[in-house]
Amino acid sequence: MPASFSVNRRNALISASAALNVGVLGKLRAQTVGTTAVTVRLPIAPRLQWDELDGYCGECCIQQAALYFGTYVSQYICRGIINPNQKSQLLVGLNEQQVLSALRLGSVAFAYSKVPSPQFPAYLVWLKQHLSLLRPVLITAFVRGLNDPDYDHIMLATGFTGMDTVNYNPADQLAFNDCFNPLVFTRPAAKLSDNRRMRANGAKYEFCIPSTICYGCAVTGIQDTSRLALPVQISMATWNEPDLMAGAAPVMLNGTVTVSGLVPGKSYSLYRYNDYRVVPTTNYAKSKYSSALNFVASVASVSFQVTIPSNGVAVFRCLPAGK
Same domain assignment for residues 31 and 44: yes
Same domain assignment for residues 179 and 53: yes
pLDDT at 145: 96
Same domain assignment for residues 237 and 216: no
State the residue range of the domain holding 210.
Answer: 10-221
DSSP label of 46: -
Other C-beta atoms within 10 Å of 166: how many?
15
In sequence order, what are the beta bridge partners of 35? none
Other C-beta atoms within 10 Å of 291: how many?
12
Q: Which of 166, 190, 221 is the last residue of a domain?
A: 221
pLDDT at 25: 36
**One digit per residue, pLDDT tens: the chain, 323 residues?**
344 333 333 333 333 333 333 333 333 333 444 557 899 999 999 999 999 999 999 999 999 999 999 999 999 999 999 999 999 999 999 999 999 999 999 999 999 999 999 999 999 999 999 999 999 999 999 999 999 999 999 999 999 999 999 999 999 999 999 999 999 999 999 999 999 999 999 999 999 999 999 999 999 999 999 999 999 999 999 999 999 999 999 999 999 999 999 999 999 999 999 999 999 999 999 999 999 999 999 999 999 999 999 999 999 999 999 99
Same domain assignment for residues 213 and 307: no
The answer to the question of residue 1 being in a domain is no
Cβ(3)–Cβ(153) below 8 Å = yes
Cβ(230)–Cβ(121) below 8 Å = no
CA angle 164, 169, 174 (to 5 degrees): 80
- For 87-137, the DSSP string reads -SPP-TTTTHHHHHHHTTEEEEE--GGGSPSS-HHHHHHHHHHHHHTT--E
pLDDT at 36: 77
Query: Integer distance in angstroms from the first to the last C-alpha of the chain?
Result: 46
The answer to the question of residue 201 being in a domain is yes
The answer to the question of residue 214 being in a domain is yes
Same domain assignment for residues 36 and 105: yes
Same domain assignment for residues 30 and 107: yes
Same domain assignment for residues 199 and 112: yes
pLDDT at 35: 59
Same domain assignment for residues 77 and 153: yes
The answer to the question of residue 165 being in a domain is yes
The answer to the question of residue 2 being in a domain is no
* Alpha helices in the chain, H assignment, sequence order: 10-20, 57-68, 75-82, 96-102, 120-132
User: What's the CA gap between 158 and 135, in Å, rounded?
Assistant: 8
pLDDT at 286: 97
Q: Which of 180, 205, 221 is the last residue of a domain?
A: 221
Same domain assignment for residues 52 and 193: yes
The answer to the question of residue 311 being in a domain is yes
For residue 133, the number of C-alpha atoms closer than 13 Å in the C-beta half-sphere is 19
What is the number of domains present in the chain? 2
Same domain assignment for residues 263 and 199: no
Same domain assignment for residues 174 and 52: yes
Q: Which of 163, 195, 221 is the last residue of a domain?
A: 221
The answer to the question of residue 5 being in a domain is no
Same domain assignment for residues 203 and 176: yes
CATH number assigned to the domain comprising residue 63: 3.90.70.10
DSSP label of 147: -
User: What's the CA gap between 138 and 57, in Å, rounded?
Assistant: 10
- For 202-216, the DSSP string reads GGT-SEEEESSS--E
The answer to the question of residue 38 being in a domain is yes
Query: Which residue type sits at 83?
Result: N
DSSP label of 195: -
